[in-house]
Copies of this chain bind each other. A is one copy, B any other.
């Protein structure tokens, strides 16, 4: 960040932050990454000390190319998770005049999807913790609302984006995929219809991992067929669920 000092303007300026809602999935539940505020931060962060909050922080006016870059940088600093700025999807701007008790702060909220199994090791357990979406405690600032909004944005985007494939490991089973869709959309699907529809889209390819599968008790493993998916998407299709 720019050096601490004196920065003067003719009119008052707000501070701008980027916040991140990082969703993961452990095969059973949707999870969110939270940090505990103010444990080892500079003096400027004195509000809501000790409370849980979304990772995020101030825009570096001189270095951050966009607020998505701010989100990526702060996420890395605060949780150890290293994501590209491209993985952040904007949720919205939160600008209420009283949302931060210290000074006027406007935040741009983003969400990102990660493969929990692949990143869990990277998250710095000292500072950050994964919470089941249903068990998230009350958060600092207006982060409760931001979290709710991010979730409903995710719920909408599931029709247009390969959400399932960004959250699941490379290789997954149909029941896992279905369970994920059910968690996000908060509904239940018929097993057979779900399988039929997925099959019909031709975006899954079976993975042969050697295990003979004479029974049906061990589910079939699949991999996401990105090529077919992209083709489908280019042709103006959307996943109907």
Residues of B within 8 A of A64 (CB): 97
Contact flags A58-84 to B (C-beta < 8 A → 1, else 0): 110110111110000000000000000
CB interface residues, A 1-60, toward B, < 8 Å: 1-2, 4-16, 44, 58-59
Are A10's CB and B4's CB within 8 A?
yes
Please provide the chain A residues from 100 to 139 with a CB less than 8 Å away from any CB of chain B in the complex. 104, 106, 108
Identical chains in the assembly: 2
Contact B10 A44 (CB under 8 A): yes
**Beta-carbon nearest neighbor of A104 in chain B:** B61
Provide the main secondary structure of the chain A interface: loop
* A60 smallest CB distance to B (angstroms): 8
Interface size on A, residues (CB 8 A): 34
Chain B residue with minimal CB distance to A67? B95
A166 contacts partner chain B, Cβ-Cβ < 8 Å: no
Q: How far does the alpha carbon of A4 sit from the alpha carbon of B54 in the complex, in Å?
A: 35
Query: In the complex, what distance in Å separates the CA atom of A67 from the CA atom of B107?
Result: 11
In the complex the two chains form, what is the Cα distance from A9 to B3 in whole Å? 12
Q: Which residue of B lies closest to A8 (CB)?
A: B8
In angstroms, Cα B112 to Cα A79, docked, is 38
In the complex the two chains form, what is the Cα distance from A6 to B14 in whole Å? 14
Q: Which residue of B lies closest to A1 (CB)?
A: B11
Given A67-B95, A93-B67, A108-B95: A62 and B12 interface contact (C-beta under 8 Å): yes
Contact between chains at B59 and A14 (CB < 8 Å): yes
Q: Which of A5, A61, A65, A92 has the most CB of B within 10 A?
A: A61
A225 neighbours in B (Cβ, 8 Å):
none
Taking CB as reference atom, which chain B residue is nearest A92?
B90
- Asked if A96 is at the interface of the complex by the 8 Å CB criterion, the answer is yes
Complexed CA–CA distance, A85 and B61 (Å):
28
A96 touches B62 (CB 8 A): no
Bound-complex Cα distance A5 to B93 (A) = 28
Leading 6 A-B pairs by shortest Cβ distance: A13-B13, A12-B61, A67-B95, A7-B12, A8-B8, A66-B95
What are 25 sample pairs from A and B whose C-beta atoms fall under 8 A apart?
Answer: A1-B11, A2-B11, A4-B10, A4-B11, A5-B10, A7-B8, A7-B12, A8-B9, A9-B15, A11-B15, A11-B61, A12-B61, A12-B62, A13-B16, A13-B61, A59-B95, A66-B95, A66-B97, A67-B93, A67-B95, A67-B106, A90-B93, A93-B93, A93-B108, A95-B108
